[in-house]
Amino acid sequence: LAPLADLAKQRGVQVYHLNIGQPDIPSPPEFFEGLRRYQEQVVAYEPSRGNLALCKSWSRSMNRSLQLETDQNHFVITAGASEAILFSIMAVTDPGDEILVFDPSYANYLGFAAMAGITLVGIPTTIQSGFALPSIDEIATRITPRTKAVLVCSPNNPTGTLMKRAEMERLLELARSRGLFIISDEAYREFVYDGATPVSFLHLEPRNPALIITDSLSKRYSLCGARIGTVISVHDEVRAAVQRMASARLAVSSIEQVAAAYMLDTIPADFLSKALQEYQQRRDLLVRGLEAIPGSIVVRPQGAFYTIVELPVRSGDEFAEFMLREFDLNGRTTFVAPGSGFHVAAGGGKRQVRVAYVLALDELRGALETLAAGVEAFQRKYGA
Amino acid sequence: LAPLADLAKQRGVQVYHLNIGQPDIPSPPEFFEGLRRYQEQVVAYEPSRGNLALCKSWSRSMNRSLQLETDQNHFVITAGASEAILFSIMAVTDPGDEILVFDPSYANYLGFAAMAGITLVGIPTTIQSGFALPSIDEIATRITPRTKAVLVCSPNNPTGTLMKRAEMERLLELARSRGLFIISDEAYREFVYDGATPVSFLHLEPRNPALIITDSLSKRYSLCGARIGTVISVHDEVRAAVQRMASARLAVSSIEQVAAAYMLDTIPADFLSKALQEYQQRRDLLVRGLEAIPGSIVVRPQGAFYTIVELPVRSGDEFAEFMLREFDLNGRTTFVAPGSGFHVAAGGGKRQVRVAYVLALDELRGALETLAAGVEAFQRKYGA
């Protein structure tokens, strides 16, 4: 759809981007100060495992803010969470193996699965039940001899839901009894609202070798373009497998690693709390705006900065395209991501779209107004 | 061996690093100026295909310096040549497929092959014949229905040899007649000595869709830690496959892309010619030093900054380990890479080591002196 958005812009239409999780919060001054402090004469390779100061800062930062006891030696730095998830998948599978995910889930997991030559098995959750996880028995029916891991993300992209602690415990128990890994994508870990406390799978069992945590600075610190992520695992063989892939690609960009290490050591705790306050206001505005669309189904997001909404349209794909191709309200339109793209199983999320609330309140207000008018226009043209 | 080198340093031994291709030439001031010019408030994702200004600068820079007519739209920016080669391999193979390489070849190709689930078929070349390519008939005998590509590197890492233009033409002809891709790793393209002219496979057939060029700024501009590479292909489907993988990992680091684009537009042509002059002096010193070791076999490198040398020792692996574990000459030792690591086929490169001449002349002199003394000491202890 991105080319359609470009065409709309060429026609002079202003496009509100609710389609992508690119935060608009300024990156921390401490990161830019860290950049200025990079004074090497030669921009040389960092160790393939990652800059050691960054491993240390990241571990300390998690331990401080989450009351954990991670060990810097269990960190491998990666090019964003993307590479962390890809390496984690490849570390625990052979081509032809299977990994369980809960539909809807992050669209790019499919891309990583394709690169690893494995199959994602999508276990459906429904908007009507607030995207709650199915029972452990139901999950267990999807396990085959080729199943190697469950890949989870809480707070969730795309639904904005949080996994309950009891759900996490049951998943851990299932992993133990069936010999599976849990790959926990914690890129949004700190993005929890209404006074909730961030929960890592490491809080449950900090030394469980079945746990592979993937993390990223992208969302938490508005540093998507820095491409700094990590794999955390106490499992020596998993880490060795990740390290082999890290060695093959030599290293992650040096300058951002040095800057990120400085940032994690110096950033005030209120950077995140201020950002969260802002996102929570946006969340509240978004939910009100979406609920005001007659016939919509809205699940109030508790975390991250996304939600999946069901709209009174026959197809989320067609609607998203319609918004870019032919609709505008006073020269403006809203770009949303079709819900179908977040489903492994065919036919899921048909009347749904994903919305990222990464715009300032005024912009978001305009985006919602335009979206509501678009739904009406689409219904007039194609029926509800 | 890296942990052994760390232990040697802890014992107070100075280690000359001839084991890794990390240039010591200062990175260009224009790159650092480009870094300073990065003034975004939010370090946001660049397009997954790469920063468009960088695609344009890179294409223009190649066209200017190599008299080519590349099209910026055929570039996909990657995290170094590593990702470029991995994506190229994955774009043209399915798990179980085969790619031909010439032994000895770059050790990390094996890591990429493992990630792609494919088999590298190593076609031996020998130090006695100056690592010349075998005849096309001999190469053709290695082709099976699963062979999808030939992966080549000229100037070569690890041998320092150049492919002759006639050899390149015969390979292209073979690729055409057998329906194979040629993946040409051109990271060292400009590193040619004795007045030779850099040759890209694109010089032979600029619009041949079987050609996939991978390139990198790492060696050419002493920017290994920037992790900026590219895949260049006129083949729409190959590029689409590369683009799908690029989309899955979202983007390459933004800041280095912006800085690299500025650098390629502004760097004076003599940056490279000065670096080459320096490397050629080192090459000459290196060859003299290695030839002075009685019983060595030396192939004078014509390009890149590596050579494979056969030493009068029973095992290159044991010798490299010996140098780090127990040898020193006046508190110094030399770290070389065992030749066996550069062979796909088992048993290759047994008495050989790879040497990278990335040290200043004085350092290199010390490294060679230490190396020669190490060979003698090894022979005294273990026999020749």
Going by pLDDT thresholds of 50, 70 and 90, the confidence category of residue B34 is very high
**Nearest chain B alpha carbon to A50:** B225
Position B215 pLDDT exceeds 80: yes
At residue B50, what is the residue type? G
Kindly tell me if the per-residue pLDDT of A180 is higher than 80. Answer: yes
- Name which of A241, A259, A53, A248 is nearest B80 in CA terms: A248
Q: Kindly report the nearest CA distance between residue A91 and chain B, in angstroms.
A: 10
Query: Alpha-carbon torsion A308, A311, A316, A321, what sign?
Result: negative
Distances (CA, A) of A177 to A136, A180, A363, B75, B134: 12, 8, 49, 48, 55
> Which of B24, B31, B80 faces A250 most closely, judged by CB atoms?
B80
CA nearest neighbour of B284 among B157, B193, B190, B158? B193
Q: What angle do CA B345, B351, B354 make, to 5 degrees?
A: 80
Is B282 at the interface with chain A, CB within 8 A? Answer: no
SS percent in chain A: helix, strand, coil, step 5? 45, 15, 40
A147 contacts A97 by C-beta, under 8 angstroms:
yes
Q: Where are any strands of DSSP class E within A2-146?
A: 14-17, 75-78, 98-103, 119-124
pLDDT band at residue A96 under the 50/70/90 scheme: very high
Residues in contact with B60: Cβ distance below 8 Å, sequence separation at least 6, in sequence order? B72, B264, B265
pLDDT at A110 (0 to 100)? 95
- ipTM field: 0.94
Taking residues B177-195, report their average pLDDT: 97
Band (pLDDT 50/70/90 cuts) for residue B81 is: very high
- Provide DSSP, B251-269: ---HHHHHHHHHHHHH--T
Q: What angle do CA A271, A183, A241 make, to 5 degrees?
A: 110
pLDDT reported for residue A320: 98
CB contacts under 8 A, B 115-144 vs A, are 115, 117
Whether residue B383 is predicted with pLDDT greater than 90 in this model: the reply is no
Residue by residue, DSSP assigns A2-19 as HHHHHHHHHTT-EEEE-S
Contact A378, A313 (CB under 8 A): yes
Write b or e for each residue in B12-49: b if 16 or more Cβ atoms lie within 10 A of its Cβ, otherwise e. ebebbbbbebbbebebbebbbebbeebeeebbbbbbbb
Angstrom distance (rounded) from CA A81 to CA A79: 7
B241: contact with A, CB 8 A cutoff: no
> B58 falls in which pLDDT band (50, 70, 90)?
very high
Give the pLDDT band (50/70/90) at residue B214.
very high
Q: Maximum distance among all alpha carbons in chain A?
A: 64
Q: What is the mean pLDDT of chain A?
A: 96
Tell me whether strands B297-298 and A98-103 are parallel, antiparallel or unpaired: unpaired
**Cα dihedral A37/A43/A46/A51 (nearest 10):** 10
The average pLDDT across A99-124 equals 96
Contact A248 B31 (CB under 8 A): no
- Residue of B18, B21, B46, B41 lying closest to B261 (CA atoms): B46
Please name the member of A45, A83, A112 whose beta carbon is closest to the beta carbon of B22: A45
What percent of chain B shows pLDDT beyond 70?
100
What percentage of chain A exceeds 70 in pLDDT? 100
- Rounded Cα distance between A299 and A296, Å, is 10
The residue of A37, A41, A249, A359 whose CB has the most chain B CBs within 10 angstroms, and thus the best one to mutate to test that interface, is: A249
In chain A, which among 100-119 make CB contacts under 8 A with chain B? 108, 110-112, 114-115, 117
Query: Per-residue pLDDT tens for A210-233?
Result: 999 999 999 999 999 999 999 999
Cα dihedral A28→A31→A35→A38 (10° resolution): 160
What chain B residue is nearest to A107 in terms of C-alpha separation?
B248
Average pLDDT over residues A28-55: 96
- List the 23-82 stretch of B: residues with Cβ below 8 A of A: 23-27, 31, 35, 38, 40-46, 79-80, 82
What percentage of chain B has pLDDT greater than the value 90? 97
Q: What are the pLDDT digits (tens) for B118-154? A: 999 999 999 999 999 999 999 999 999 999 999 999 9
Q: What is the pLDDT of residue A1?
A: 86
- And the tokens for A197? 């406390």
* pLDDT class of A339 with cuts at 50, 70, 90: very high
Work out the pLDDT band at A244, boundaries 50, 70, 90.
Answer: very high
Q: Quote the CA–CA distance of A15 and B47 in Å, as a whole number.
A: 17
Do the chains contact at B115 and A247, CB–CB below 8 Å?
no
Tens digits of residue pLDDT in A304-330: 999 999 999 999 999 999 999 999 999
Q: How far is CA A245 from CA A119, B19, B82, B109, B247, in A?
A: 20, 20, 11, 11, 19
Q: Which of A22, A45, A251 sits opposite B45 (nearest CB)?
A: A22
Question: pLDDT category, B21, cuts 50, 70, 90?
Answer: confident
In chain A, beta strands by DSSP E? 14-17, 75-78, 98-103, 119-124, 147-153, 181-185, 211-216, 229-232, 297-298, 306-310, 332-335, 337-338, 352-356
Instruction: Inform me whether the pLDDT recorded for B227 exceeds 90.
Output: yes
pLDDT in tens, B267-324: 998 999 999 999 999 999 999 999 999 999 999 999 999 999 999 999 999 999 999 9
Chain B nearest CA to A222, separation (Å): 7
Long-range contacts for B328-331 (Cβ within 8 Å, ≥24 apart)? B328/B8, B328/B13, B328/B370, B329/B369, B329/B370, B329/B373, B329/B374, B331/B12, B331/B13, B331/B14
What does the DSSP assignment read for B19-86?
SS----SPPPHHHHHHHHT---SS-PPPPTT--HHHHHHHHHHHHHHHT----GGGEEEESHHHHHHH
